[in-house]
Structure 1
C-alpha cells in the first residue's frame, strides 16, 4: 500500500506541471514500449483493451478480464498506471477501489455514460457515486487519481449540440465537488469550446487531439493532460494488416 500511495501521489503531481501526455496502451508489451520511451505515466484505453480481448467497447468485456489486463500492464512498468474503467461496471465504490488497487493501478478514468440506456447517467447520481469512490479510496489509504469523463459532447447521448458546452460545465462542477481530480470532456473538437471549458471548469482538464487541437494548443490553453484513446492500437493493427497483405501478395 505504501508503494501504491507513492505512485498515486506521483500521478497527481503530474497534473500540476507541464502537460501530461498519455499515449494509451492495451497490453504489457505496449505499456513497456511507452514507459521505455520515457513517458512518466501509463494509461489504458478501454476500446483497445477490449478489442484485444475480443469484445466490443462500452463495458462489452467482462470486468474480470479488463482488470486482469490492467494488472499485467501495471506489473510490466514501474511508473504510475491509470486504468480506463469505463463506467465502473456497476460496482459499488469500495469494490471498484479494491479491484483497482489489486491490479496495481493508482488512477481511474470513469465516464458518465449509462451503458444500459446509451444515454448519460443522471448527473447528481453520478456525482454521488464519484464521491463514494473518493471516500472509498481514502478508506483504503491510497488517494487514487480520479479522471471524471464527461460525455455530453459525444453524439447519441441526448444532448443538443447547442447545449453541450453548458451541460459539460454543469456536470464537471458537480464531479469536481464530488472529489474528481481531473475533468475529461471527451469529444471536444473546437479550440474555442476547449478554451471555454478550461476557464469554466474547476481543476485540471483532460483533452483529446484533433484538427484544431494539438499539443501546442493544449499548452497554450492550460490543459493539464492529454490522452489518445485507442488511436495507437488502431495504428498498430493497421500496420499489421498492411504487412500481412503485402506478405499475402508475395
Structure 2
C-alpha cells in the first residue's frame, strides 16, 4: 500500500553538523505514527522538511504516491498538512479566535464581505467549538494569547491544527506544557483525528504516551531511521534501546 506521506533518503547539514543523514519516514492515512529519538536525532529537522519549512541537501518526499517538492509551508497546508511546532507559532498580539483563523478568515456574505469585512461571529463559534472538542481551557476568547499560560497557548495551537488538518497532522511535543487532564484530552483527540482517516505524526519524549496511542513507532538516531515497531508489540525498554544504540535494529524491526 502506498504511504500517504513518505520521505526517502533525506539529508540536510548545517555547517559541519549533519542533522539528517539519509533519513526515511512514512505514515499512512488513518494511523498514528510515533516519531522518537534522543535530542539531536533529527526529529524537528525531519518534520520541518516534510512541512516545507526547510530546504534539503538530498532526498525525496512523496505525497499520495506522487513526488513533491515542498517549496514552503503554504504548499504543505494546501496538501492538507498541519503542524504544531514546539514554539507553537502563534501571533501573541492576537486573540485565540484570530489565531485559529489567521490567513483563513471567513468573509461576511454579500457586499460587506467583498468590502473586506470578516464574519467574526462565525469564526468565534467555530473556534469555540474546536476548543471544546479538544477539551482545551481557554479562559478568554478576547485576550491576546501572549498574556495566557503555556498550557492555554498549547491548547490553542493544537486546536487550530486539528481544525484545519484534512490529510496529515504533525504534533511536536504537544503535551509538554499540559497538565494531566489536558494531556489525556490531547491523546484522545489524536485518536479521534486518526479515526477520521487522517494521518497523525506524534513526536514525544514520553514513551508511555507514545505506546498508549501509536499504531507504529519509528526511531531516529544520528539523523537516520534505525527501527520501526508496532506499537502494541513493543516496550519502553526496546524503544530506549533503539534510541540509544543499545539495540542496533535497522529497518523492519516491526
Report the TM range for the smaller structure's normalisation. 0.3 to 0.5
Bigger Cα Rg: 2
* More RCO (CA 8 Å, sep 6+): 2
Q: TM-score, normalised by structure 1?
A: 0.37
- Greater per-residue strand proportion: 2
